[in-house]
Structure 1
Amino acid sequence: MRRIFSTLIILVAMSFSVQAIDLQDAKQSGLVGEQTNGYLGAVKPSSEVNALVKTVNDKRKAKYQELATKHNVSVKAISVRAAKKAISLTEKGQFIESSPGQWKKK
């Protein structure tokens, strides 16, 4: 399971390579944050923020599905583990979801 987790983190990180600057800027500006379900959320929604969130989440969902199929586990199991890791890696001052729809700065 540890290998699955390591692979997941690498694949998710790779999925951001095209939008890394935009995503980092959005996180640092407090526009988006990491949710407890393994997906990115819009802290301050706008059309641009929502488009970024959708793009990132579509890539995450595809990776989660790929890993779930490969390791014969549920997508939810993968996304929950990814959420824990993403939240732990979130920088101080950036937003994380404390409960559904509730945001707090780490």
Structure 2
Amino acid sequence: MKSTILVLFTSLLLSFNALAISLQEAKAQGYVGEQTNGYLGLVKETSEAKMLVKKINPKRKSHYQKIAKKNSLAVNEVATLAAEKAIKAAKKGMYIQNARGEWVKK
């Protein structure tokens, strides 16, 4: 079941391909980071970063809901698994949220 979730999560990441450049730029510049809840968070508040978060998080939630329904899981379980994967995949120098909710550079 975890492998199914990982495959579906990978497709989630690929579905954001059109936004990938601006998302990666925002991450690289330290404006946004991966939170422990599976959603993108604001590290530095800028209007561009806020718009990006508002655009991406609802799409993530929608994908998490589809995956959860397909696998008879709670949405927050899927989001937590996605967060673990996204945090591990974050590149050096990008921000991730630690267990205390603080932003740290990876």
> Kindly, what percent of the aligned residue pairs are identical?
46
CA shift for structure 1 position 14 = 2.0
CA shift for structure 1 position 97 = 0.5
Partner of 1:63: 63
Partner of 2:88: 88
TM-score by length of 1: 0.93
Question: What is the rounded CA distance, in whole Å, between the counterparts of 2:63 and 2:15 in structure 1?
Answer: 8
CA shift for structure 1 position 67 = 0.5
Give 5+ residue unaligned stretches, structure 2. Answer: none
Question: What is the rounded CA distance, in whole Å, between the counterparts of 1:24 and 1:87 in structure 2?
Answer: 14
Give 5+ residue unaligned stretches, structure 1. Answer: none
CA RMSD of aligned residues (A): 1.1
Work out whether residues 96 and 105 of structure 1, in 8 Å CA contact, stay in contact via their aligned partners in 2.
yes
Aligned residues: 105
Partner of 1:17: 17
- Runs of 4+ residues over 3 Å off in structure 1: none
CA shift for structure 1 position 46 = 1.6
Work out whether residues 64 and 78 of structure 2, in 8 Å CA contact, stay in contact via their aligned partners in 1.
yes
Question: 2:17 is paired with a residue of what secondary structure?
Answer: coil
Question: What is the rounded CA distance, in whole Å, between the counterparts of 2:15 and 2:58 in structure 1?
Answer: 10
